[in-house]
Amino acid sequence: MKHEFSLYVTGFPSHYQRAIQNLRQVFDSRIKDEYEIKVIDVLQNPELAEEENILASPTLVVDNSYPKKKIIGDFRNQEKLRSALGWSEN
């Protein structure tokens, strides 16, 4: 099963590139190449952000979970990200 994520960002590539790098480190260690990250700029697509009730950026939405999970931040703390995704090593 391919894991699908949407990353909602606000316009500045340098800000969200760091978030993508942090996400890829965690994803590559856990789900290898079985994931897709769709980047959505809320300034260019405000209707998509509104549909998902995105209030801050960057926000990661786990698209194929029910209910959908939303995680806010730049994802520097990999342990917190793993925990939020339910992937704790414990």
Does the predicted TM-score (pTM) go above 0.85? yes
pLDDT at 12: 76
Give the Cα separation of 59 and 10 in Å (integer). 10
Domain ranges (residues) in the chain: 3-85
- pLDDT at position 11 over 90: no
CA distance linking residue 24 with residue 28, whole number of Å: 6
CA distance 42 to 39: 10
Q: If you average pLDDT over every residue of the chain, what do you get?
A: 90
Instruction: Report the percentage of the chain scoring pLDDT > 90.
Output: 68
Please give the CATH architecture assigned to the domain spanning 3-85.
3-Layer(aba) Sandwich (3.40)
